[in-house]
Amino acid sequence: MTTDIATAPTAEKPTTTTAREVPSTREEARFLAPPVDIWETEDGLTVVADLPGVAPDAVDVKVEDGVLSIRGTSSYANPTDATLAEFSLAGYYREFQLSDRVDPERISAELRNGVLTVRLPKAEKARPKKVEVRVG
């Protein structure tokens, strides 16, 4: 005879545990890491990311606690009369740790034809300065 632990006779009152609701720490959405090119100029860094299918109002570029994050959401509406729909678009997400040599107040971004260009100007303290040499 098999007995269930919760209903087995015991000297003590059986305790029941209920599953408590635990908030999810992860989003259900899928993200792809967009390919990027990064180069340095005298004035700062330039980040170019490919975000095909992303509208300008669906791009979020922000800097928080020294981290540059790029998020883009592409949209595609499956036909409602599809018998089987396996195709869907994933969003884009990428983060970069910034050094203190970047001036976060002057960062700018532009999206054109699915290509995001983020300009990260150097902070004044990071720019090279010419030191005058006096003769004397």
Give the distance from CA 125 to its chain's centroid: 28
Instruction: Count the Cβ atoms, other than its own, within 10 Å of residue 120.
Output: 25
pLDDT, tens digit, for every residue of 76-123? 777 777 788 777 778 999 999 999 899 999 999 999 999 999 999 998
With 80 as the cut, is the pLDDT of residue 11 above it? no
Q: How far apart are CA 77 and CA 79, in angstroms?
A: 6
Query: Which residue has 């699915």 as its token pair?
Result: 114
With 70 as the cut, is the pLDDT of residue 12 above it? no
Highest mean pLDDT among 11-15, 26-30, 101-105, 114-118: 114-118
* Rounded to 5°, angle at Cα 130 from 124 and 131: 115
5-16 average pLDDT score: 44
Q: Which CATH architecture has domain 32-77+85-126?
A: Sandwich (2.60)
Tell whether pTM > 0.75: no
Q: Are 118 and 70 in contact (CB under 8 A)?
A: yes
108 is written with which tokens? Answer: 């700018």
Strand partners, 85: none
With 60 as the cut, is the pLDDT of residue 15 above it? no
At 82 the pLDDT is 77
pLDDT, tens digit, for every residue of 33-80? 999 999 999 899 999 999 998 999 999 999 999 999 999 998 777 777
Query: Which residue has 């545990």 as its token pair?
Result: 17
Give the domain ranges of the chain: 32-77+85-126
